[in-house]
Every structure is written in C-alpha cells, then in structure tokens.
Amino acid sequence: MTIFSTDHKVIGKQYIGLALFSVLLGIVLSLVMRFHLVHPDAKVKLFGALWPDGAPGGQMTPELYLSLMTIHGTIMVFFVLTTAPQSGFGNYFLPLQIGAHDMAFPVLNMLSFWTTALSLLTLLAAFFVEGGAPLSGWTAYPPLSGLGRITGPGQGLGQDLWILSIALFCVASLMAAINFIVTIIELRAPDMGYFDMPLTCWGWFVTALISLFAFAVLLAGGILLLLDRTAGTSFFVPGGLIVNDQIQTRSGGSPILFQHLFWFFGHPEVYIAILPGMGLISTILSTFSGKKVFGYKAMAIALLAIGGLGFVVWGHHMFISGMSPYSSIAFSVLTLAVGVPSAVKTFNWLATLWGGRLRFTAAMHFALGFVSIFITGGITGLILGQPGLDIYFHDTYFVVAHFHLIMGVAAIFAIFAGLHYWFPKMYGRFLHEGLGKLHFYMTFIGVYAVFVPLHFAGFVGNPRRYPDFKEYEFLKAVMPLHIGVTHAAYFLAAAQLIFLFNYFWSQRRGAAAPANPWGATTREWRDD
Amino acid sequence: MNPAGAKTLGMWLFVLSDLLTFATLLVIYTALRLANPDWPKPFALSPSIVYATIMTIVLLASSLTMVWAVDAMGKNDRKRAVQWLLATILGGASFIALHLTEWRHLIQIDKITPASSLFGSVFFGVTGLHMAHVAAGLIYLTVLATGVARGKFSAEDIETGGLYWHFVDLVWMFVFPLVYLMAVKP
C-alpha cells in the first residue's frame, strides 16, 4: 500500500482513516466543551499546558471555548460527515458495485485525497499560530470573520487558515465530485442502466451532483471573505462599523450576502452528509430482511428530489436575518416539502422490513438505529422549518439538538452500519458481532440521553455558543440538565472505545469471512 | 481504460461548477450595485473602454487559434497543433500583460484599489478571479503544447483543454459588458 496510491480501494481506506482520526479529535473537543459548561471555573493544568494563552493557569477563556466549538464543528462537518460516507465508502465500493475497474480518473482521485489531507492540516495548524483557532464557528459569519485580529484572538491568522482550509476542501470535493459523476455515467457495466444501480450508487451519484454545485458557491464565498480580510475589499463588511472602540474604515458591503452564499452551500451540505447513508441503509435493510428494497424507483427519485430541493431551501437558516416575511413563507413551504421525499424513504424502509425474514446483525442494528434517529431528528426539522417557531428557537440548544441528530448522529450510524456490513469485504474478516451490538446499544442510548434533553434546554431559551451559563439567572434551572447531558456525553464517548478496539482488533483477529457473508445481491460481493 | 468522452465530460462538469463560482461573484456584484443608487462609473469611452475592447479582441483571437489547434490535432497534424497552441498561449499572455497594465493604471493614477470603494472590490474581485483562470490556463496549455510536441496526448486531450480555454473566454464575455460597459462615464 503506497502512500500516494491511485488505487480506489486504498484511497477509500485512506479517507476512512482520515475521518476516523478527525472524529476522535472532534469527540475530544466536544468532551472538553461539555466539561467546561458544567465546570466553568475549573482550573485544569492540562488546558493550561495545551493552550497557555487560551487557558491561563488552566482557567479556560470564553475565546478558547469558542475556538474549540469552531474546530469541533468544522472537523465534524467537513472531515467526518463529508468524507467518510461519500469519499470513503464511495471510492471503495462504487467501482465494485457498477463493475468498473477503478474510478474514472485515478490520479485526480489521489490528488483529491491529498488535498483533503492538506486541508485538514491547514485547519489544525490554526491551533498553533498566534492567537489560536478562530472563534466564528463553522459558519464563519462576517463581520466577526471579516475584520481580523481586532475581533478576537483567533480572528487573525487562525481565521485566515480556516478559510484557506475550507477553500482547499472545496477544491478537493470538486475533484471528487467530477470523478464520481464521470465514473457513474461512463463506467457502468454494459448491462447496467441507471435504474439498475444499487441505491448506494444513487446516493453517491446525487451527493456528487450536489457537491459539484454547492462547493463551487462556498469557494466563491471563501475567496471573497479572504479578499475582505487581506486585500481590504468590503463585500461582506459594513461601512462605519465600530469594533472595540475603533472605527473600521471599509467602504461598506453586506454581511447578509455571505449568509446567503454560505447557506446556499450549507443546506445542500446537510444532504451531502446524509444521502450516501440513505443509500447504504436501503441496501442493508434489504439484505437483512431477505427482500428487495420496497419501491426501488421511488427511492432513487426521492434521493434526486431531496438533492434538488436542497438548493432552494437555504433561506430557512436565515429567518432571523431580517428577511422579508414573504421570502420566509416561500422558504418555509419549500422546506416542509422536503418532508415528502423524506417520508417516502422512511415508509419504504419500513415496508422493506415488513414481512421480511429479519436477521439482527450488528449492521442491521445500526441501520434500524439510523431510521429511528432520522425520524427523531427529522420531525424537529418540521418545527424549525416554520419561521414563527424558528425565530424563537433559532439561537437555542433546540437547533443544536436537531442538527446533531439528523446530520451528525444519523450519518454516523450509517457509517457504523456500513463498516459492519463491508468490513468482511475490506479486510476478509468480520467485525466482532457481540462487541458491535454492545457498542450499538450504548451508543443508541447515549445519543438519545445527550440530545433529547438539549431540546428542552432550547424550549426554555438556553442560547447556543455561550461558554458559561452561571452568569445568567434564568439558566440556573437548566444546569442540572446540562450536568446530566455532560455525563451522558462521557458515557457515549466511552462507548466509542468499544468500537475502536473492535475495529483494530478485528482487522487482525476477527473471524475469517467468506466471499459473500451476508447473502447480498450487489456486485461487490461477487468473486473477482 | 476510460471510454472516449470521459475526459470531455469531466471538463464539462468542471466548467459547470466553475460557472457557478463566477455566477456567484456576479450575483454579489448585482446585489451590491442594486443597493447602491450612485454606483461609480469611472471608465471613459476612450481610453478605458477602447483599451478593454482591445483586451477582449486579443482574448477572443486566442479562442480562435485554440479552435485551429483542436482542428489540427483532429487531423493528427501535431506540428500545426503545437504552433496554434503556442499562438493561443501568446494571446493569453498578452491579455494578462494588457490587463496588468490596466490594473496598474487604475491603482496608481485613478486611485481605484480593492479597498477604495465597493466598485474597486467588485472590479478587482471579478477580474482578478478571471485573470487567475487565464493564468492557470496558460500553465495548462503549456503542458499540452510540450506534450503534443513530444508525441503525447490525444485529440480528446486537446479538445478538453480547448473546452477550458473557451470557457474562460466566455466568462470574459460576461465580465466585459457587466463590469466595463455598465461603468462607462455618462
């Protein structure tokens, strides 16, 4: 296995490795944040050693908290949820499932992975430069992100590195998207029409189409934001702004424009994270029910519909930006319309199970867990899609709970399901089933224990992105809830150690697997 | 091996995606301009617009030579193809040289800089991104020309390069009216 390999299987594993490293780092960052929320005054020597400026004497500053949040979000969204299901599994299994020898452009594929790796390094470098990592969250709204050091310690070089990292990621994702689309259009086996492809391929196909257009717009936003910071332009920075008692001499643009660009990318990004998982879950539910997927064609069209609708709903992230109520209604109706293809998928998954001979393997557990979490997280989407409710909930933990479930946890469950399902193909051995199920139950209980209570914190108006709740009288009542959530987060993180052990132990010691261990019907299991 | 047309399809997809990047900049320009009733119109018909028209003609001429390069390669006339590729490179390089001269003039004499006004932000943002694409195209064409001279690359490779080059020219055909002609001194 060479480092700069152009083999799609190696590149797939490299992407999965990169995502695994990233997810562990993201989990650690979230644990540090959860710890700080319940012990805001704790002096931790380790924090002081890691971040001498961000945690003088071990006491974490609000700025450090925000920078941990920024990197947690950025890592999880870009380097875990975007890479593993699409580039990881997709690279490995797309050519096998459509009967191709490799991806269409192997060298481009290699370049795409290493650009992603460079992007990750650039992001992490932000921790080590003067001022540390940026504070502006994964959405990087200007003016906070547009003005430089004056707006906070991480807003100097740290924010520049963040934008550079995202721009690199955009380029890498565009290369990957082109590769996926050309592979599917040009390299399908002669006897395979579009509607003969497994739904996994449909998931990757639609995701690649979304990436092609969404990342192009984010790239433009990133370039303009970088110009605002380095060349003195003012696309997104208002004129006459006074920050820390200093007037900012800019000619005056509009921060809202950046929000439009960001969410034109940001909403489709949610589907980039979840659509490959949807395809995968369809395959797994069908395999372990011993039945064909119910309503195959409807499932494929629903993927296309979700991908298409994803480009016209970005405004629902901006209901509180002062947009016209007429626009809000339009965005709201379109947003609720996404519920239709989503419901088609959900009911078809349930219908696939109906009357089947169910085999409750670990992969099947995670697939069923995916459906459960997709429903739970999806229903709160219907709540947030309505301007009247969103205006109240927008900057609260309700939104945090919603997007973690639907975008984060659901996609992660699909990744776990996929790893259990495809591990025999990738390593010739099984992941340990017993450990897998134990990991499933602990994770399933853990995520609900973490995220369900956070909805209630949102109900009482608990704001997001606050590093310290004890300053606010009305939040005193929510502290017991947060203490519970933090303990649940520790439990959830501990459960992942089981998976880590299983993943590495099984690669060497797992039970040997036959060529087609699950009795699946897709091409990748055929002897080759 | 990939079937014929895979590379062309890949380039088409890139063009589609890049088109959206440019469109985003032009949408930003539109939004900022609509919000600004007294948007500056600093370009005199002569010399500014005349000069920009010459730049446009040079760039369009390089698209024509690119067509001939693709045509020559299609007839397997590698020598001719290299010559036309070099002519295309010359056109692109002249465009950049003319463009940079114009930039210098604007910055030093007219005092229009990226930081001076929203007009400056838009002008240098849009034309800068376009110029970066021309520069990338020059590298691309140089790789193609040296390769063709050594007997590498197929007709499809040159056609793919042509697709990129024509796209960059096409973008200019939006930039020229929107950024230059709509900023003519009344």
Q: Give the mean model confidence (pLDDT) for residues B92-108.
A: 97
Q: Are residues A226 and A364 in the same domain?
A: no
What is the token pair recorded at A76? Answer: 């999880």
CA atoms of A420 and A281, how far apart (whole Å): 12
Q: Are residues A421 and A306 in the same domain?
A: yes
* Cross-chain residue pair A182–B114, CB shorter than 8 Å: no
Within-domain flag for B76: yes
Which residue type, as a one-letter code, is found at position A266? G
Q: Which domain holds residue A488?
A: 273-519
Q: What is the CATH number of the domain that holds A446?
A: 1.20.210.10
CA atoms of A281 and A203, how far apart (whole Å): 10
Within-domain flag for A257: no
Number of domains forming the structure of chain A: 2
Q: Are residues A69 and A118 in the same domain?
A: yes
CA atoms of A208 and A177, how far apart (whole Å): 4
CA atoms of A222 and A171, how far apart (whole Å): 11
Q: What is the mean pLDDT of chain A?
A: 95
* Cross-chain residue pair B14–A232, CB shorter than 8 Å: no
Nearest CA in chain A to B120: A233
Q: What is the pLDDT of residues A433-476, one digit of tens each?
A: 999 999 999 999 999 999 999 999 999 999 999 999 988 999 99
Within-domain flag for B32: yes
In the predicted structure, residue B1 carries a pLDDT above the cut 90: no
Give the burial string for A402-438 (b: 16+ CB within 10 Å, else e): bbbbbbbbbbbbbbbbbbbbbbbbbbebbbbbebbbb
Q: Are residues A209 and A317 in the same domain?
A: no
CB pairs under 8 A between A and B: 103
Contacts of B32 in chain A (CB under 8 A): 235, 253-254, 257
Q: Which domain holds residue B10?
A: 6-183
CA atoms of A71 and A81, how far apart (whole Å): 14
Q: Give the mean model confidence (pLDDT) for residues A7-18.
A: 97
Within-domain flag for B144: yes
| End-of-domain residue from the set A238, A263, A282 | A238
Residues A138, A71 contacting (CB under 8 angstroms) = no
| Chain A closest-CA separation from residue B106 CA (Å) | 16
Which of B118, B123, B133, B156 is the mutation pick for testing A, counting most A CBs within 10 A? Answer: B118
Confidence of residue A353 (pLDDT cuts 50, 70, 90): very high
- CA nearest to B120, candidates A147, A227, A156: A227
Contacts of B17 in chain A (CB under 8 A): 174, 177-178, 212-213, 215-216
Q: Are residues A358 and A455 in the same domain?
A: yes
Task: Give the ipTM.
Answer: 0.95
Within-domain flag for B108: yes
Contacts of A231 in chain B (CB under 8 A): 114-115, 124
Residue with tokens 């920050």: A243
CA atoms of A523 and A97, how far apart (whole Å): 5
Within-domain flag for B132: yes
3-state secondary structure of B102: helix
Within-domain flag for A385: yes
Q: What is the pLDDT of residues A172-209, one digit of tens each?
A: 999 999 999 999 999 999 999 999 999 999 999 999 99
Q: What is the mean pLDDT of chain B?
A: 95
pLDDT of residue A175: 97
Q: In the structure, how many helices (H) and strands (E) does chain A have? A: 17, 2
CB < 8 Å from B in window 122-181 of A: 174, 177-179, 181
In 3-state terms chain A splits into helix, strand, coil percentages (rounded to 5) of 75, 0, 25
In the predicted structure, residue A527 carries a pLDDT above the cut 90: no
Number of domains forming the structure of chain B: 1
CA atoms of A24 and A170, how far apart (whole Å): 23
Q: What is the pLDDT of residues A302-312, one digit of tens each?
A: 999 999 999 99
CA atoms of B161 and A257, how far apart (whole Å): 34
Q: What is the pLDDT of residues A15-70, one digit of tens each?
A: 999 999 999 999 999 999 999 999 999 999 999 999 999 999 999 999 999 999 99
Q: Are residues A292 and A150 in the same domain?
A: no
Q: Are residues A172 and A290 in the same domain?
A: no
| Chain B closest-CA separation from residue A252 CA (Å) | 7
A224 touching B, CB under 8 A? Answer: yes
Within-domain flag for A250: no
Q: Are residues A207 and A278 in the same domain?
A: no
Q: What is the pLDDT of residues B150-163, one digit of tens each?
A: 999 999 999 999 99
B26 touching A, CB under 8 A? Answer: no
Q: Are residues A486 and A341 in the same domain?
A: yes
DSSP 8-class letter at A59: B
Contacts of B121 in chain A (CB under 8 A): 227, 233-235, 251, 253
Q: Give the mean model confidence (pLDDT) for residues A225-230.
A: 95
Q: Are residues A334 and A187 in the same domain?
A: no
Q: What is the CATH number of the domain that holds B178?
A: 1.20.120.80
3-state secondary structure of B116: coil
| End-of-domain residue from the set A188, A212, A238 | A238
Within-domain flag for A243: no
Q: What is the pLDDT of residues A240-288, one digit of tens each?
A: 899 989 998 888 899 999 999 999 999 999 999 999 999 999 999 999 9
Contacts of A234 in chain B (CB under 8 A): 115, 118, 121
| End-of-domain residue from the set A191, A211, A238 | A238
How far is residue A159 from each of residues A13, A67, A131, A135, A369, measured CA to CA in Å?
30, 10, 10, 8, 37
Residue A389: which residues within 8 A CB-CB, separation 6 or more?
A: A383
